[in-house]
């Protein structure tokens, strides 16, 4: 499961370069240290003309056939093993894939004194893309909800002692393949593998409170003894 993540340095210039976006692409440069389900999240989709377009999606997918006003499931993750078959995800997997931009995610390690939050990043702590799916559903008032979910897979060697799942982090060379509508289901499934070589850093317990946000969340935990 991936239920909390970060985008601590969303410098528009860096993100435009890293994710091959146009110079005119509008990006909110507000740092996010505690992205949580139902939050608006920064994602990149492919337009009908083939261009990459950034925008905000609500985290927690509502399938295109569902009514957002009555749909009561919070689909923040989709399992890689069943994403092409599950009714809630199979259409989005086939036609509506996206990149969800991040630079780290949190998991909680079980210890004798309780669960301790860990911030999991690439070694250089730069931005990356989760494999995401998105959907557009129609509210009863006629407005559209654009929502998304993060695909998860089995854990890497570094994540396995902490949790039995991790989000799919696409290699930079695989991001275009993920977005391309012509990519076959077999090729897509090949991308849904764990990312090895992650760094794990224990951080403040404050991250457990979804109301908190800011760089203090990444500080080392307070040592009482």
- Is 81 an annotated catalytic residue? no
Given 98, 107, 148, 175, the catalytic residue: 107
Q: Are 195 and 175 in contact (CB under 8 A)?
A: no
Q: Which of 173, 203, 178 is nearest to 188 (CA)?
A: 178
Contacts of 202 (CB under 8 A, 6+ apart): 109, 116, 117, 118, 119, 220, 221
Residue from 151, 149, 156 nearest 189 by CA: 151
Residue in the block written with tokens 């730069």? 126
Query: Is 107 an active-site residue?
Result: yes
User: What residues contact residue 57 under an 8 Å CB cut-off, 6+ apart?
Assistant: 40, 41, 43, 98, 100, 132, 134, 146, 147, 148
From 201, 198, 200, 176, select the one nearest 187 (Cα to Cα).
176
Q: What is the DSSP string of 53-119?
A: EEEEEEESB--TTS-TTT----B-EEETTTTTT-TTTHHHHHH-EEEEEESEEEEEEEETTEEEEEE
Token reading at 33: 């240290």
Where in the sequence numbering do the catalytic residues fall?
2, 107
């Amino acid at each position: 499961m991936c239920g909390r993540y970060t985008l601590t340095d969303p410098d528009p210039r860096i993100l435009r370069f890293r994710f091959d976006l146009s110079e005119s692409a509008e990006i909110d440069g507000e740092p996010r240290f505690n992205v949580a389900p139902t939050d608006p999240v920064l994602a990149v989709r492919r337009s009908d003309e083939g261009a990459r377009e950034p925008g905000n999606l609500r985290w927690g997918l509502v399938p295109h056939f569902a009514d957002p006003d009555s749909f009561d499931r919070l689909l923040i993750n989709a399992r890689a093993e069943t994403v092409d078959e599950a009714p809630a995800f199979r259409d989005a997997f086939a036609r509506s894939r996206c990149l969800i931009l991040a630079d780290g995610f949190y998991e909680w390690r079980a210890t004798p004194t309780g669960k301790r939050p860990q911030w999991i990043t690439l070694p250089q702590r730069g931005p990356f893309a989760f494999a995401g799916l998105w959907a557009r559903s129609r509210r009863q008032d006629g407005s559209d909800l654009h929502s998304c979910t993060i695909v998860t897979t089995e854990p890497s060697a570094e994540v396995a002692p902490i949790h039995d799942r991790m989000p799919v982090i696409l290699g930079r060379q695989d991001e275009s393949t993920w977005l391309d509508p012509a990519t076959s289901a077999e090729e897509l499934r090949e991308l849904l593998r764990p990312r090895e070589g992650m760094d794990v850093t224990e951080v403040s317990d404050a991250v457990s409170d979804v109301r908190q946000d800011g760089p203090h969340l990444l500080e080392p935990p307070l040592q009482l003894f």
